[in-house]
Structure 1
Amino acid sequence: MDIAAIRRVARAAWHAVYDDILGEETVNEHLREGYAPPVLEQMIELEEVGLFVSTADDDVVAYMSCGMTDATGFGDLDLYVHPDYWGEGIGTELLHRGEQHLHELSVRKIRDEVLAENEIGNGFYRTHFEKVGERTTQVGGQEHPVNVYERRL
C-alpha cells in the first residue's frame, strides 16, 4: 500500500473541500494527525479495517477506509477522491468494494456524517445514501452542522 500516495490524495481532497469551511491551518492540522505514516500503517495492519485505493494511469487517485463502528451492525467509511477525478465514478466503485468488506464483517448498515457545507461530499451521499438526520459537531474549536446518512447493506 502506497502511504505517500494516500497522503497526496488526502492533501488535495481535504484542501479542495475544507479550506473554505474550516480554514487551511485546521485542515493542515487534521492531515498531520490523521494521515501520519504510523496511523496509516496501523490501519493497513488491522484486518477489521478495510483500506482500498483506486488508480488511474498507475497513480493512486482515491482511497477509502471502512470498518465496523458498533457491535449492533453499524459501520462507516471515509472515502476521498483526488479533485482532478471528481465525477468519474471512482467513488462509487470504491463504495461497492467497501460494502463487500463491511458485509464480510457482518455490518448491516453504514452510517456516516458529512459537514453540511461540504457540497461535494453531500452530493455523493445524497446519491448513494438516505439522509436520516442532522446534528452539530466541533471541528477546530467551531460548531459545524452535519448531515447524517445511512445505507443498508
Structure 2
Amino acid sequence: MWIRTASKDDINAIHDLLIETWHATLDDIIGREEINRKIAHDYTPDLLKKMLSRPASEYVVADDGDTLHGVAYAAQGAVKGDSEIALVLHLCVKPESQGQGIGQRLLIELEEAFPAARKIRVALNKKDERTQKFFEEQGYKHLGKTTENKSNDDVVLEKTLF
C-alpha cells in the first residue's frame, strides 16, 4: 500500500470512495438522503478537483497500484481567525480496508504536511463514536464549541503538532 499525493486522474475514484465509505459508516447515523445531499453539494467531482489546487492544502490517497483504499484531505487556514490550524476535511478508508492501519498512515501524512501549523483539527458528527475513537487513539482531544462547529451534531477534536 502506497500513500501518495492525489492527482486529477484520481478524482472519480475518490468520489466513488467517499460515497461508498460515507454511506457505509453514516447512513444509520445521519441518513442516506443527508449524505447524498452533502455529496451533491460539497463533494462533486468538479469541487474535488478544485481542492487539489487549493493553496496550503494536502490531498493524499492510499493505493495498491490498482485500487484506492483511502483518501484524506486537509487545508491550513480553513479555520477562520487562525491560520496556524490545519483542518481535516475528510479522511475515509473503504469499509473492507478498515482496520489495516491505512487511516492512521493517511492521518500521519496530513499531520506532517503542514510544518507551519501549530495544530490540526477535525469536526465529526457527535453520533459517529467509532470515528471519534479513531482520532482519540491518534492523540486528538475534544474541544468545546468553536466557530466552525455551528451544528449541534458536530464535535471538534484537535491535536497539537509541536
2:44 counterpart of 1:33: no
Give 1:74's aligned residue: 85
Distance in 2, Cα, partners of 1:65 & 1:152: 18
C-alpha change, 1:57 and 1:123, in structure 2 (3 Å) is: farther
- Of 119, 132, 137 in structure 2, the residue corresponding to residue 122 of structure 1 is 132
Distance in 2, Cα, partners of 1:113 & 1:43: 18
2:97 counterpart of 1:85: yes
**In the TM superposition, what is the alpha-carbon distance from 1:147 to its structure 2 partner?**
2.6
Which residues of structure 2 form unaligned runs of 5+? 1-6
Range that drifts further, 81-90 or 67-76: 67-76
**In the TM superposition, what is the alpha-carbon distance from 1:132 to its structure 2 partner?**
2.8
Which residues of structure 1 form unaligned runs of 5+? none
Distance in 2, Cα, partners of 1:23 & 1:108: 35
- Of 104, 108, 128 in structure 2, the residue corresponding to residue 96 of structure 1 is 108
Range that drifts further, 93-102 or 63-72: 63-72
Q: Which amino acid aligns with 2:71?
A: Y
Give 1:23's aligned residue: 31
Contact 2:143 2:158 in 1 (8 A): no
Percent of aligned positions with the same letter in both sequences? 27
Distance in 1, Cα, partners of 2:86 & 2:133: 20
The Cα RMSD (Å) is 1.8
Distance in 1, Cα, partners of 2:28 & 2:137: 24
Distance in 2, Cα, partners of 1:10 & 1:44: 15
2:73 counterpart of 1:65: yes
Matches within 5 A, 1:36-47: 36-47=44-55
**In the TM superposition, what is the alpha-carbon distance from 1:134 to its structure 2 partner?**
4.6
Q: Please state whether the residue corresponding to 1:102 is helix, strand or coil.
A: coil
Q: Higher helix fraction: Structure 1 or Structure 2? A: 1
Q: Which amino acid aligns with 1:128?
A: Q
Size of the aligned set, in residue pairs, is: 146
Q: Which amino acid aligns with 1:121?
A: T
Contact 1:112 1:148 in 2 (8 A): yes
- Of 122, 129, 134 in structure 2, the residue corresponding to residue 112 of structure 1 is 122
**In the TM superposition, what is the alpha-carbon distance from 1:112 to its structure 2 partner?**
1.4
Provide runs of 4+ in structure 1 moved above 4 Å: 134-137
Distance in 2, Cα, partners of 1:115 & 1:129: 18
